[in-house]
Amino acid sequence: MSALQVDNLVARHGLLQAVRGVSFRMEKGETLALVGANGAGKTTLLRAIAGAHPLHSGRVFLDGADLGAARAHERTRRGVALVPEGRRLFAGMSVEDNLRLAGGVGRSGLWTIDTVLETFPNLKARRKALAASLSGGEQQAAAIGRALMTNPEVLLLDEVSLGLSPVAVERVYSSLETLMRSGVTIVLVEQDLNRALRVASRVICMLEGRFVAEGKASEMTREEITAAYFGLNRAAPAGVSP
């Protein structure tokens, strides 16, 4: 049984069809990198899976159970957690209180304040600091830690390295490697293609709301993914030379 299954998912922004009938399955503990240019539909797809964006059509299953019309907070209680682009921490609350609030979802499991701080050691000395005072890397670590406090089956990470310094990215990914070994199923949206290929077991490239390339990260080349990323591998219309 797949940990996460998405069947023919369609999501819209008004008249714009942002995600166009995509389907995929993930096994427990798998890490999937979702890549593509800005506007490809990656964030909308993650939000639709998490229940933060309405489905126009299609279905999402968690451990074989149809999530149906479950709203975002209900999906969190059932084991789906989203780390949104921009982190969206409660700026006026401390790191510890941000974590504690998420732990109130009530799911039991590995993740507690202590285990989160062990995984993200740069937060230990900052646990009482207001979220607004954190650096970008610390905010990203706190946002991921907050999601982990719900003890998710599936973790959706949107633009992990966006806006971070190289040092902060290294720290976040070092901690993520520990997380990936813990058995959590992860969908990772990442602009850094080299890093995505290093950490993911599988890669899907999106273009204009569709999947245009998919495969094991170990078997896909950077050139192949880049061609899909920019639509260079699409068949030319009949009668038109490539």
Token pair in block for residue 78 = 């059932």
Instruction: Judge contact between 83 and 147, C-beta under 8 A.
Output: yes
pLDDT in tens, 131-143: 999 998 889 889 9
Query: What's the whole-number average pLDDT of the chain?
Result: 88
Token pair in block for residue 91 = 């700026």
Q: How far apart are CA 173 and CA 11, in angstroms?
A: 30
Average pLDDT over residues 62-74: 93
Give the range with max mean pLDDT: 44-58, 153-167, 192-206.
Answer: 44-58
Give residues with Cβ within 8 angstroms of 47, minimum separation 6.
11, 53, 82, 84
pLDDT at 236 > cutoff 80: no
Helix or strand holding residue 179 (H, E): helix 166-180
Average pLDDT over residues 200-227: 92
* pLDDT confidence of residue 238: 38
Residue with tokens 């946002």: 143
Average pLDDT over residues 198-220: 93
Main-chain dihedrals φ then ψ at residue 79, nearest 5 degrees: 120, 20
Residue 213 β-bridge partners: 205
Q: The whole model's pTM is what? A: 0.89
Neighbours of 79 (CB within 10 A): 23
pLDDT in tens, 51-62: 999 999 999 999
* pLDDT confidence of residue 234: 56
Q: Report how far Cα 21 is from the mean position of its chain's Cα atoms.
A: 19
Token pair in block for residue 125 = 């000395």
Domain ranges of the chain: 4-229
Average pLDDT over residues 192-213: 91
What percent of the chain stands above pLDDT 70? 95
* pLDDT confidence of residue 198: 87
| Amino acid making up residue 32 | L
Q: Report how far Cα 196 is from the mean position of its chain's Cα atoms.
A: 12
Least Cα distance to 134 among 177, 175, 172, 176 occurs for 172
* pLDDT confidence of residue 237: 37
pLDDT in tens, 165-193: 888 888 888 888 888 888 899 999 988 88
* pLDDT confidence of residue 172: 80
CATH of 4-229 among 3.40.50.300, 3.90.1300.10, 3.40.50.170, 3.40.50.880 = 3.40.50.300
